[in-house]
Amino acid sequence: MRDGPYASILGVTEHRVPDIDTVAARLAEMRHTKVPARAQQKDAGDQKRIARFNATASKSREAASMYRAVADDARTKKALRQRIAQQHPELHRAETRARAEVQQAQQAQTTRIEQQNRRYQPPAPSRSGPKRGR
């Protein structure tokens, strides 16, 4: 009993073991104070773990829902484009040309910005130190 995890609480680490009534009183006190507190601590930890799991699961469900919505929108857009291409081929060609022009303009702007950012190059650090006199 002296080597147990509750030996110090029960007071049995001393050279002389307390009498049985004292040990019984200390056990009863532990049962009424320490055990409920430890149980509550475990319950709180379990609740936190469950809350984290539910939050993660909720985020996963939300992401899957958003992905499905985007995929549905893309399918709808594709179907509409096909319908426009069949019913109004001139309008479709004009729209396709306009999209290509917009994409080219965006690429040109991106290229210009990248070139402007590349122009400035700070000088390379030199490794000069104190000069030695000869």
At a CB cut-off of 8 Å and minimum separation 6, what does 1 contact?
Answer: 7, 10, 12, 17
Amino acid at site 109 = Q
- One-character DSSP codes across 96-128: HHHHHHHHHHHHHHHHHHHHHHHH--PPPPP--
* pLDDT confidence band for 118 (50 / 70 / 90): confident
- 3-class DSSP state for residue 15? coil
Check whether 133 has a pLDDT greater than 80: no
pTM of the full structure: 0.40
Instruction: List pLDDT tens digits, range 46-63.
Output: 889 888 888 888 888 899
Question: DSSP class of residue 11?
Answer: T
CA distances to 73, 126, 129 from 102, rounded to whole Å, are 22, 45, 54
Query: How is residue 126 written in tokens?
Result: 């030199």
* pLDDT confidence band for 1 (50 / 70 / 90): low
Do the Cβ atoms of 95 and 84 come closer than 8 Å?
A: yes
At a CB cut-off of 8 Å and minimum separation 6, what does 81 contact?
Answer: 92
* pLDDT confidence band for 20 (50 / 70 / 90): confident
